[in-house]
Amino acid sequence: MTIRRFEVRAVDVPLARPYAIAGERTEAVRMLFVELGDSSGHVGLGSATPEVSITGEDFESCKAALEGCRWLVGQDALDVHVLGKRIEERLPKNPGARAALDMALHDLWARQMEASLVDLLGRAHHELETSVTIGIESVEATLAQAREHVANGFRCLKIKTGEDLDLDVERLCVLRAELGPAIALRADANGGYGLHEVPTFFERTQALTIEFLEQPVKRAEFPGLRHLPMDMRVRIVADESVHDERDARELLRDPRPCAGWVVKLMKCGGIAPALRLAAIAREEGVALMWGCMDESRIGIAAALHAAFASSATRWLDLDGHMELARDLGTGGFTLERGRMRTNGEHGLGARLVAGRGTG
């Protein structure tokens, strides 16, 4: 079925709860939405939240890249894999734009096939728990947010760290004492620690049963983690250090610096490249966590469908839609007491609600 309509919409979205990570505070995000319509009335949706500090792609370059892909009009939407390859070749420096287009193509394809996308990809999971993130805050604010999330049914908290090791340890100690052993705790330093601080973190949190430490050091310093003892390396998960298959192969060199990777569609460029990373992870025994930026439910749904199509998936961290003050996307999945499921509708199962863009 031929693609007849191509629309790009830009939206500025404030966050309901601004947050801080190591070296950065976020109060609002700029999003891009893509709609692809075919000759039979099916519509595929995609979204992007570009982040220059992570992928080198800013909002304007992402928007320009999307606008430059109007050549998709007139193409056969069933050629989703061929079109995806062409997009990768044409937009090598725009992973967010690639991801939005890839989502929309996969969504349109599955809607044409009258099936949920994950079932076409090959379902490996039906339901998984997601973590919910708490930014860098005071001890008191961290504890207040944790109580709120637990009261709402979440059983896994991801705590942003990386600016002050002493404060990080204090916050984690207070959380464990308050919440008890039933609540899972993860830490994410966003590259904020120095190599010398990583062993100290593990030593000082040894009694807290922290699931893992995500991206403890900057990407350039990550190879230095190979010198850590294995009992520490198996509790490290790479995020900013793994964007594509080349990064994945580098992380597989022995001794491996980590035992898990975070897959984000905004980093790797969409569902198809994410599943290529997942195939490598499955073959090599690497555990995957599927993460996100501050994203619309459309982007979260796309990540969830991909995550559920991989047997290497162990964790979800798909809470990026929760911080938005408003969202042009609706549907896509259910989230009940911290557990996520796809909603069984065709494609991604997501829709656009009425709203006006800024461009």
Per-residue model confidence as pLDDT tens digits over 48-105: 999 998 888 999 999 999 999 999 999 999 999 999 999 999 999 999 999 999 999 9
Q: What is the pLDDT of residue 354?
A: 66
Whose CA is closest to 213, among 231, 227, 55? 231
Q: How far apart are CA 266 and CA 46, in angstroms?
A: 11
73 and 219 assigned to the same domain: no
DSSP H/E element including 49? none
108 and 255 assigned to the same domain: no
Amino acid at 318: L
267 and 177 assigned to the same domain: yes
- Boundary of a domain, candidates 72, 95, 114: 114
Q: Which two tokens stand for residue 220?
A: 């350039």
Whose CA is closest to 286, among 252, 318, 253, 247? 252
- Strands, DSSP E only, in 189-328? 210-214, 236-238, 260-263, 287-290, 313-316
9 and 141 assigned to the same domain: no
Query: Which CATH number fits the domain that encloses residue 267?
Result: 3.20.20.120
Higher pLDDT, 315 or 354: 315
**pLDDT for 189-248, tens place per residue?**
999 999 999 999 999 999 999 999 999 999 999 999 999 999 999 999 999 999 999 999
**pLDDT for 241-283, tens place per residue?**
999 999 999 999 999 999 999 999 999 999 999 999 999 999 9
Sign of CA dihedral 212, 218, 219, 225: negative
The model's pTM: 0.95
Whose CA is closest to 323, among 346, 296, 354, 305? 296
Residue where the block lists tokens 């942003």:
160
Whether 157 shows a pLDDT value over 90: the answer reads: yes
| Total domains present in the chain | 2
Q: How far apart are CA 187 and CA 165, in angstroms?
A: 12
Q: Which two tokens stand for residue 212?
A: 């893992």
Q: Which two tokens stand for residue 267?
A: 């980093």
- Boundary of a domain, candidates 80, 114, 148: 114
Phi/psi of residue 143, nearest 5 degrees: -65, -40
Q: What is the pLDDT of residue 20?
A: 73
Whether 128 shows a pLDDT value over 90: the answer reads: yes
Q: Which two tokens stand for residue 301?
A: 């749904």
Q: Which two tokens stand for residue 104?
A: 């929309």
Q: What is the pLDDT of residue 358?
A: 38
Higher pLDDT, 358 or 163: 163
51 and 140 assigned to the same domain: no
**pLDDT for 166-187, tens place per residue?**
999 999 999 999 999 999 999 9
Compute the chain's Rg from CA coordinates. Answer: 20
Domain extent for 169: 119-352
268 and 123 assigned to the same domain: yes
143 and 7 assigned to the same domain: no
